[in-house]
Chain A
Amino acid sequence: MRIAVNRAFGPVVEGEALVSEEGFSPRYDLDRWSGLITKPGHKLEGHSIVDKVCFFPSAKGGIAAGWAFYDIQWKKLAPKAFVFGVTNPVMVQGAIFAGIPITEGWAPHPRDVVKTGDWVRVDPARRTIEVLRRA
């Protein structure tokens, strides 16, 4: 099963999917010392983003995210890739700065084709995301 994306940066990566129904900010939602989503009430509270292909419908606030991605990459807590429905410039500037693949826009919607735990491949050059194995 394939998802087409509108914009993308980075090399081809594979990893376990973490699919969120809620948007994301590495500042508001993430503990940058453990890689866990810690914001009380976040739909993925308690989940780790480390080495995951993270699907988020939207980006939240936050200029500081530009440094935060590099920081978590330095601490070896970065995800494999960020897949956004809608994102903002900071997420993109931050991901490119940290060398983390990032995409924006999707069809079909991931909730219809990919579940947390599935193994997926992100191919930015071809602007596609493929589900390789089911959880």
Chain B
Amino acid sequence: MELNAEERAILDGARGAAARDALQYQIEVGTFWGAKRFVPVTNVHMMGDIEVMGDGGLAWLKGRDLAGAKCTVSTTTNARCMDFAHCERMGQDAGEAKKEREIIATLQRMNVITTDTCINYQTVYQPHLGEHVAWGDTGTVIYANSVFGARTNFESGPAALAAGITGRTPEYGFHLDEHRKGTFTVELTAKLGDLADWGAIGKLVGETHQNYYAVPVFHGYHRTPTADELKHLGAALASYGSMGMFHFVGVTPEARSIDEAMAGKSGYEKMVIGDADIERVLAGYNLGDGDARLVVFTGPQQSLFEMKRLAELFAGRKVKAGGTCIVTTNSAVLEQARSLGYAKALEDAGVTILQGVCFYILQNLSPMREKNGWKNMVSNSAKVVNIIGAHKFNTILRRTEACVEIACTGVLK
């Protein structure tokens, strides 16, 4: 990689050992991908909690702190694995909670803003067209690239932290024009009336095109999608397809037309998704023994609008005795949901609201499943339905209203 004078100085230790090591690591990653140079970033979003990091990650992080690591650009954190107010009731380990607090304190010493959210793009920072950032998780990346027209790769925790420390990232992947063009089109003739339907598109398109550099171009939809709909679409595409970008003609900034999104290419694959395709996804889940005791609204965290809708659907109802319904969101949304009465409506119905976490990364999730005897997990999020398999849940995607009905009646259909 070509280094400028500042980067050469960092490698020579001008900004300390931590910055030197971070840049050296970024050079290895950039070299693998054939990056020619670094690009400066304005914002970093990183994943770092005890469930994903483990003891080894924590030990490494403490070492970086001792080496004087400090982030030099605005750096925020993704959802974590514990809401301390609910740890004990959720059966999470006190010892791991102590480590989680250590991680938070260490990151704060390193000049990281611990926002604990996977919807930073809805609540914290909205980069502009062409702005280079270094974000993770995948849902944040695909939203940044697609909806904002900002530029980022999937940046894992260590890679994002390195970018925060050095203020730059290797220029490869979605930082370059050549990877931002559409590779196939998807005509949407389906009505898509629920967030689960948008996630189902992600499953249909992602599973059949598992490739980071596959960029679907959606078109033909009968109205303008909302931010929450694009959030569920993007999160599912990233989850099922490992995709980092999509275009939506007339909606996203680099797709004023199919031709622009496809960069004038021809002979590409053309998919069509209609109502029957969505219904087929929803009908395709094995219901097991009908266990309906766990319903989750998570992955990504709920926006204020999702909280409002759930509050309306749960108003005057109760989660069925013996059942568990979990909603996750971030501190900013929860604060507003409390002041607007949405949180109370949910809690009166027996819903557990967890702050700053996502369900699938909860510490101790497998033992939690065993202790509660949960077999099925029902959700309106196609992403969480996809990614929780290693914890041995049988997962079922259902529309939002159906999820509420299942939570309140205990009947799974």
Shortest distance in angstroms between B230's beta carbon and chain A's nearest beta carbon?
18
Shortest distance in angstroms between B185's beta carbon and chain A's nearest beta carbon?
21
Residue with the greatest number of chain A CB neighbours at <10 A, chosen from B31, B53, B60, B172: B53
Shortest distance in angstroms between B78's beta carbon and chain A's nearest beta carbon?
7
Query: Is B157 a contact partner of A66 (Cβ separation < 8 A)?
Result: yes
| A92-103 contact mask (Cβ, 8 Å, vs B): 1 or 0 | 111011000010
Within 8 A of B (CB), among A23-75: 23, 25, 27-32, 38-42, 58-68, 70-71, 73-75
Chain A residue nearest to B31 (CB atoms) is A9
Query: Is B157 a contact partner of A23 (Cβ separation < 8 A)?
Result: no
Q: Is B349 among interface residues, defined by CB-CB distance under 8 A?
A: no
> Among the listed stretches B319-327, B337-345, B386-394, which one makes contact with chain A, having 4 or more residues with CB under 8 Å of it?
B386-394
Within 8 A of A (CB), among B213-260: 238-240, 242, 244
Shortest distance in angstroms between A134's beta carbon and chain B's nearest beta carbon?
30
Query: Is A7 a contact partner of B34 (Cβ separation < 8 A)?
Result: yes
Binding site for A on B (CB under 8 A): 25, 28-29, 31-34, 47-48, 52-57, 59-60, 78, 136-138, 141, 153-159, 172-173, 210-212, 238-240, 242, 244, 361, 386-387, 389-390, 392, 394
Query: Is B47 a contact partner of A64 (Cβ separation < 8 A)?
Result: yes
In the assembled complex, the Cα of A30 lies from the Cα of B52 at a distance in Å of 13
User: Interface residue count for A (Cβ, 8 Å)?
Assistant: 43
In the assembled complex, the Cα of A56 lies from the Cα of B300 at a distance in Å of 27
Shortest distance in angstroms between A55's beta carbon and chain B's nearest beta carbon?
15
Contacts of B386 in A (CB 8 A): 28, 61
Contacts of A90 in B (CB 8 A): 136, 138, 154-156, 159
Contacts of A25 in B (CB 8 A): 387
| Given A28-B389, A39-B390, A58-B211; A96-B52 close (CB under 8 Å) | no
Query: Is A93 a contact partner of B390 (Cβ separation < 8 A)?
Result: no
Return the contact of B390 from the options A38, A66, A94 (Cβ within 8 A). Answer: A38
In the assembled complex, the Cα of A58 lies from the Cα of B389 at a distance in Å of 17
Chain A residue nearest to B153 (CB atoms) is A89
Return the contact of B158 from the options A66, A74, A87 (Cβ within 8 A). Answer: A66
In the assembled complex, the Cα of A47 lies from the Cα of B263 at a distance in Å of 43
Contacts of A75 in B (CB 8 A): 54, 56
Query: Is B78 a contact partner of A67 (Cβ separation < 8 A)?
Result: no
Q: Is A125 among interface residues, defined by CB-CB distance under 8 A?
A: no
Contacts of B52 in A (CB 8 A): 27, 64, 67-68, 71
> How many A-B pairs with Cβ below 8 Å?
148
Query: Is B392 a contact partner of A63 (Cβ separation < 8 A)?
Result: no
Shortest distance in angstroms between A90's beta carbon and chain B's nearest beta carbon?
5
Shortest distance in angstroms between A45's beta carbon and chain B's nearest beta carbon?
10
In the assembled complex, the Cα of A30 lies from the Cα of B138 at a distance in Å of 19
Query: Is A71 a contact partner of B54 (Cβ separation < 8 A)?
Result: yes
In the assembled complex, the Cα of A60 lies from the Cα of B57 at a distance in Å of 22
Residue with the greatest number of chain B CB neighbours at <10 A, chosen from A27, A58, A61: A61
Chain A residue nearest to B118 (CB atoms) is A63
Q: Is A132 among interface residues, defined by CB-CB distance under 8 A?
A: no
Return the contact of A64 from the options B34, B59, B242, B361 (Cβ within 8 A). Answer: B361
In the assembled complex, the Cα of A67 lies from the Cα of B59 at a distance in Å of 12
Contacts of A28 in B (CB 8 A): 386-387, 389-390
Chain A residue nearest to B161 (CB atoms) is A66
Query: Is B54 a contact partner of A74 (Cβ separation < 8 A)?
Result: yes
Chain B residue nearest to A29 (CB atoms) is B390
Contacts of B78 in A (CB 8 A): 63
In the assembled complex, the Cα of A75 lies from the Cα of B55 at a distance in Å of 9
Contacts of A64 in B (CB 8 A): 47, 52, 137, 156-157, 361
Return the contact of B212 from the options A9, A32, A86 (Cβ within 8 A). Answer: A86
In the assembled complex, the Cα of A49 lies from the Cα of B342 at a distance in Å of 46
Query: Is B210 a contact partner of A7 (Cβ separation < 8 A)?
Result: no
Query: Is B390 a contact partner of A65 (Cβ separation < 8 A)?
Result: no
Residue pairs across A and B with Cβ atoms less than 8 A apart, 19 shown, are A8-B32, A60-B239, A60-B240, A60-B242, A63-B47, A63-B155, A64-B47, A66-B136, A67-B47, A67-B156, A70-B56, A70-B158, A71-B56, A88-B154, A88-B242, A89-B156, A89-B159, A90-B138, A96-B29
In the assembled complex, the Cα of A9 lies from the Cα of B29 at a distance in Å of 9
Contacts of A59 in B (CB 8 A): 210, 212, 242
Shortest distance in angstroms between A64's beta carbon and chain B's nearest beta carbon?
4
Chain A residue nearest to B159 (CB atoms) is A93
Contacts of B154 in A (CB 8 A): 63, 88-90
Chain B residue nearest to A36 (CB atoms) is B390
Return the contact of B33 from the options A7, A71, A94 (Cβ within 8 A). Answer: A7
The 3 closest A-B pairs by CB, nearest first: A66-B156, A74-B56, A71-B54
| Given A7-B34, A74-B54; A66-B242 close (CB under 8 Å) | no
